[in-house]
Homo-oligomer: A and B are copies of this chain.
């Protein structure tokens, strides 16, 4: 089986079936028509027309927009439309590092199809075909993808931390990696996501790091979100990515990127080019007509 099976687990979204979500003249997301219909019930917050959903132009500051969004999301949450509420605020913008146009609850990002940022760590021991990769089994209580396989460390990218700072924090919380070891992690690029999930559109940009761990290191979860850890030989990891869907969708992509960067998947792989192209699909924010 081809590694491409991991890319095919979700349909490529048909963006023509969504309405662009516009804030201050910037296209920052995509909303399903049925979500747009309920947003239309908050006319002070959203202007819903046949071809777009716009945050009300009277909301001229990020604070005013964030407050209006929070009121609407409280209602949608009460209606059961925002599963897995996290009490984590994410910035909404077109590109990482830009001043947020507003902030909103992380769990509602797919409802609005806004770009969500994250960090991931590929933690491994050994080199070449002797390499083994640490993976985590997600706790059965996780709201997203319970029991699936995950990286040893990863998480959403909150406001106020750099990706490297966030990674250090997650290394501690998720796997008990001491700061002096975690600080050796190296940034190695990013992947993008654009998939239609049950709840809406998942649009993502995730910063990836590699860390060669000491052979003696054993991860120890601190936050109760992990059921256990496993150290998988790289050849077995490749077999499992080719033959089954045990890993979270985005994590499978991060691992394929890792396998490509480390030479385990090379030009002799028939799908080398589509595998590489599929890791960083452009996020097609449109120019907004006046």
Contacts and interface: CB of A to CB of B under 8 A. Distances in A.
A262 to B, nearest CB: 7
Interface in A54-106: 95-97
A180 interface: no
Contact of A266 (B164, B270, B282): B164
Contact of A95 (B162, B190, B273): B273
A261 interface: yes
Contacts of A95: 273
A163 interface: yes
A164 B268 CA distance: 8
A187 interface: yes
A173 B79 CA distance: 69
Given A96-B273, A277-B282, A267 B205 contact: no
A263 interface: yes
B280 A277 contact: yes
A189 interface: yes
Nearest to A207: B267
B273 A186 contact: no
Interface string A248-290: 0000000000001111011110101100110010100000000
A58 to B, nearest CB: 32
- Chief secondary structure at chain A's binding surface: mixed
Interface in A181-221: 186-190, 205, 207, 209-210
Given A189-B261, A262-B186, A276 B267 contact: no
B267 A162 contact: yes
Nearest to A188: B261
A4 B51 CA distance: 36
A270 B97 contact: yes
A166 to B, nearest CB: 10
Contacts of A97: 270
Contacts of A207: 267
Nearest to A96: B273
Contacts of A277: 280, 282
Contacts of A282: 277, 282
A116 to B, nearest CB: 14
Given A96-B273, A162-B268, A164-B268, 11 more contacts: A163-B266, A163-B267, A164-B266, A187-B260, A187-B265, A187-B267, A188-B262, A189-B261, A189-B276, A190-B276, A277-B280
18 contacts: A95-B273, A96-B273, A162-B267, A162-B268, A186-B262, A186-B263, A186-B266, A187-B260, A187-B263, A188-B261, A188-B262, A189-B261, A189-B276, A190-B273, A205-B273, A207-B267, A209-B263, A276-B280
Q: Would you list the 6 A-B pairs with minimal beta carbon distance, nearest first?
A: A186-B263, A187-B266, A163-B267, A187-B263, A207-B267, A189-B260
